[in-house]
Amino acid sequence: MELEQLRDTVVHALEDLKGTDVRVLDVRGRCSFTDLMIFASGTSDRHVKSLAAHVEEKVREAGVRPLGVEGADQAQASWVLLDLGDIVMHVMLPETREFYQLEKLWGAEAKA
């Protein structure tokens, strides 16, 4: 699957379940382990888990097998990371996202 198609699949899956503040950062040239990072916020720990599970389901349907999932098995899931190789997706509670400020850390312009 092409990078743009995978990006669109992830973004649409997040939007399907009402993920908020969805941002795509192009980190090519700044990062050696991925090309894009996608960030989204959920309204509760249950919503964060549901968003990540829905994205995982949609990319699997498209023939992409995630390399790893972190945080989904936690009782209080304030942050779930889904590693898709060329894309790393972060779904967080707003307060977790504000605390870590990963978008600012990577110093990239975010695009919706």
Give pLDDT, residue 9: 98
3-state SS assignment for residue 108: coil
Given this model, what pLDDT does residue 29 score? 87
- CA 101 from centroid of its chain's CA atoms: 14
Mean pLDDT of 95-103: 94
Domains of the chain: 3-100 (3.30.460.10)
User: How much is the mean pLDDT over the chain?
Assistant: 92
Does residue 112 surpass a pLDDT of 70?
no
Task: Tell me what pLDDT residue 110 has.
Answer: 47
Query: For 6-50, what is each residue's pLDDT tens digit?
Result: 999 999 999 999 999 999 999 998 889 999 999 999 999 999 999
Q: What is the pLDDT of residue 92?
A: 97
- 65-90 per-residue burial string, b: 16 or more CB within 10 A, e: under 16: ebeebebbeeeebbbbbbebebbbbb
pLDDT reported for residue 107: 67
Q: What is the pLDDT of residue 99?
A: 95
